[in-house]
């Protein structure tokens, strides 16, 4: 017996191999996006309190626990400046993953085109293909001189003429990740307005993956596409409790948007997942109620987390720069991408299987130096994978002590003789 035609057309997610590297070689692990320290107390308490409610141990409403959809409608209603119907305009999902999958399965017809911006979160293309859609790629480009000076993630830009050339009457959807994983780019209002014009012109849905909406640094500002003029009818926005409260194991996500776009996703959800775990939804609602009541105040957990993460970002930037990497300084998320072009490593001598351009370096770094990262080529599709070949992504949502451990390893790196530093 063999797998289905669908499975034959897909390959395993790179997280499986990189997860195994983490287990087999016991490296300092800056690969996957989650903290190596406990979540905040009020979030743990919310789960304890939810678990004491007998009703929270049984199935809840299929499209989302009423308490959770109500707080989400209140919060996002205020944030985007329009009322959101908690029952018709929100769907609770198993993480942002299921929100993405149900959006593609619920809205894409065979042959519909979906624009995906590279570097992308790696599950978008296989999911679009599961829905028999056609991914159409366009790349964010770093500035030409990124090897010679510190670069900000805001300098990774789309060429809007190129983007416009990808739109046509078959363009059903564009996926935009802001703040962006892996570059940390936070799209500006002007950039989102450019994209929004194209969406309205071609009747294209903007699928906004905003799971890192609360992790923002310096003066960057997270702008929600759904709040831009005339964009509500075209926009679906995805969030994740895992990224909102540092509890990635909770795997609760949501998607909000106009009822006519949400309903197809609800139908897919009702026939696949059926309903998400009740205690986790109840706990998510409690934690969101607490945090929403202090939004914008000095005791805001989201604000405090961004401040703490900004210090960690600066720490790792320092280590990377002094080791000879060329990092892009992120404006959001807890990831940092860095080019290793100046690093001297025995590329011709190591013979690990290279599954994607550049992943030999990441394997060498893990196996020989005990530091696990993610090769950036996995965030590009063929034939553009070489655009990510000289880069790796680090997650810095780790204790300072883990970052110092990584720093000690980075300090042992040697520069190439002809390095341009
Ligand atoms: C951009 C992006 N979207 C979606 C997800 C998936 O989120 P969840 O764990 O809620 O399914 C992730 C996880 O890292 C992500 O980085």
Which of 31, 35, 95, 379 to mutate for ligand 1's pocket (most ligand atoms within 8 Å of CB)? Answer: 95
Do 311 and 289 sit in the same domain of this protein?
no
Do 200 and 285 sit in the same domain of this protein?
yes
314-324: pLDDT as tens digits: 999 999 999 99
pLDDT at 28 over 80: yes
Mean pLDDT on 130-142: 97
When mean pLDDT is compared across 10-24, 220-234, 271-285, 398-412, the lowest value belongs to 10-24
147 or 294: which carries more pLDDT confidence? 294
Distance in Å, CA 179 to ligand 1 centroid: 12
pLDDT at 420 over 60: no
The predicted pLDDT at position 416 comes to 76
The predicted pLDDT at position 418 comes to 64
The predicted pLDDT at position 193 comes to 98
Tell me, yes or no, whether 421 lies in a domain. Answer: no
Tell me, yes or no, whether 313 lies in a domain. Answer: yes
Do 222 and 352 sit in the same domain of this protein?
no
75-91: pLDDT as tens digits: 999 999 999 999 999 99
Instruction: Give the mean pLDDT of the chain.
Output: 96
Which of 93, 101, 181, 186 to mutate for ligand 1's pocket (most ligand atoms within 8 Å of CB)? Answer: 181
Do 129 and 270 sit in the same domain of this protein?
yes
Structurally, the chain folds into a number of domains equal to: 2
Do 25 and 170 sit in the same domain of this protein?
no
Do 77 and 207 sit in the same domain of this protein?
yes
The predicted pLDDT at position 417 comes to 66
Rg (CA), the chain: 21
The predicted pLDDT at position 421 comes to 52
The predicted pLDDT at position 351 comes to 85
The predicted pLDDT at position 419 comes to 63
pLDDT at 132 over 90: yes
Which residue in 255, 226, 205, 236 sits closest to 97, CA to CA? Answer: 255
Do 194 and 319 sit in the same domain of this protein?
no
CA distance 278 to 387: 43
The residue from 242, 275, 293 where one domain ends is 293
Quick check: 282 and 56 in contact, CB under 8 A?
yes
Close Cβ partners of 404 (under 8 Å, ≥ 6 residues apart): none
Q: Position of tokens 């009322």?
A: 83
152-183: pLDDT as tens digits: 999 999 999 999 999 999 999 999 999 999 99
Do 260 and 307 sit in the same domain of this protein?
no
Residues in the chain: 421
Mean pLDDT on 394-401: 98
The predicted pLDDT at position 223 comes to 98
The residue from 293, 320, 351 where one domain ends is 293
Quick check: 199 and 192 in contact, CB under 8 A?
no
Residue 126 maps to which CATH number? 3.40.640.10
Distance in Å, CA 33 to ligand 1 centroid: 9
29-59: pLDDT as tens digits: 999 999 999 999 999 999 999 999 999 999 9
Q: How far from chain centre, in Å, is Cα 401? A: 25
CA distance 235 to 212: 17
Closest ligand 1 atom, CA of 253? 10
Residue 28 maps to which CATH number? 3.90.1150.10
Residue 139: domain span: 41-293
86 CB neighbour count, 10 Å cutoff: 21
CA distance 395 to 78: 31
Mean pLDDT on 376-393: 95
246-300: pLDDT as tens digits: 999 999 999 999 999 999 999 999 999 999 999 999 999 999 999 999 999 999 9
- In this structure, the residues whose C-beta lies within 6 A of any atom of ligand 1 are 33, 95-97, 121, 177, 181, 209, 211, 240, 242, 248, 251, 253
User: What percent of the chain clears pLDDT 70, i.e. is strictly above it?
Assistant: 99
* Confidence band for 415, pLDDT divided at 50, 70 and 90: confident
Tell me, yes or no, whether 420 lies in a domain. Answer: no
Closest ligand 1 atom, CA of 243? 10
Do 193 and 59 sit in the same domain of this protein?
yes
pTM for the model: 0.97
List, in sequence order, every residue forming a beta bridge with 344; answer none if it has no partner: 414
Tell me, yes or no, whether 176 lies in a domain. Answer: yes
The predicted pLDDT at position 254 comes to 99
The residue from 246, 264, 293 where one domain ends is 293
Do 225 and 89 sit in the same domain of this protein?
yes
Do 35 and 121 sit in the same domain of this protein?
no
Do 29 and 46 sit in the same domain of this protein?
no
The predicted pLDDT at position 113 comes to 98
């Amino acid at each position: 017996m063999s797998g289905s035609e669908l499975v034959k057309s897909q390959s395993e997610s790179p997280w499986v191999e990189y997860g195994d590297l983490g287990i087999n070689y016991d490296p300092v692990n800056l690969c996957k996006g989650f903290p190596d320290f406990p979540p905040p107390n009020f979030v743990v308490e919310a789960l304890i309190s939810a678990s004491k409610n007998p009703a929270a141990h049984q199935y809840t409403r299929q499209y989302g626990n009423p308490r959770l959809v109500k707080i989400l409608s209140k919060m996002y209603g205020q944030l985007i400046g329009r009322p959101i119907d908690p029952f018709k305009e929100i769907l609770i999902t198993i993480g942002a993953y299921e929100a993405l999958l149900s959006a593609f399965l619920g809205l894409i017809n065979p042959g519909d085109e979906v624009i995906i911006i590279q570097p992308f979160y790696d599950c978008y293309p296989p999911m679009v293909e599961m829905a028999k859609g056609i991914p159409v790629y366009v790349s964010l480009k770093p500035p030409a001189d990124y090897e010679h000076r510190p670069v900000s993630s805001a300098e990774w830009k789309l060429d809007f003429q190129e983007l416009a050339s990808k739109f046509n009457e078959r363009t059903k959807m564009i996926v935009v990740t802001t703040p962006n994983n892996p570059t940390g780019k936070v799209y500006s209002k002007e950039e989102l307005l450019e994209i929004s014009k194209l969406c309205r012109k071609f009747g294209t849905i903007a699928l906004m993956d905003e799971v890192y909406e609360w992790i923002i640094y310096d003066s960057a500002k997270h702008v929600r596409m759904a709040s831009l003029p005339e964009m509500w009818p075209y926009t679906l926005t995805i969030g994740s409790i895992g990224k909102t409260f540092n509890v990635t194991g909770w795997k609760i996500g949501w998607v909000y948007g106009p009822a006519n776009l949400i309903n197809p996703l609800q139908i897919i959800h009702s026939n696949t997942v059926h309903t998400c775990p009740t205690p986790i939804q109840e706990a998510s609602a409690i934690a969101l109620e607490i945090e929403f009541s202090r939004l914008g105040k000095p005791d805001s957990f989201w604000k405090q987390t961004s401040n703490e993460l900004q210090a960690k970002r600066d720490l790792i930037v320092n280590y990377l720069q002094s080791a000879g990497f060329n990092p892009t300084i992120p404006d959001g998320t807890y990831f940092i991408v860095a080019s290793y072009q100046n690093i001297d490593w025995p590329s011709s001598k190591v013979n690990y299987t290279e599954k994607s351009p550049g992943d030999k370096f990441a394997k060498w770094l893990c196996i020989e130096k005990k530091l696990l990262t993610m090769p950036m080529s996995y965030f590009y599709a063929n034939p553009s994978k070489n655009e990510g070949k000289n880069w790796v992504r680090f997650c810095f949502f780790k204790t300072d002590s883990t970052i110092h451990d990584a720093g000690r390893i980075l300090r042992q790196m040697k520069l190439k003789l002809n390095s341009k530093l």
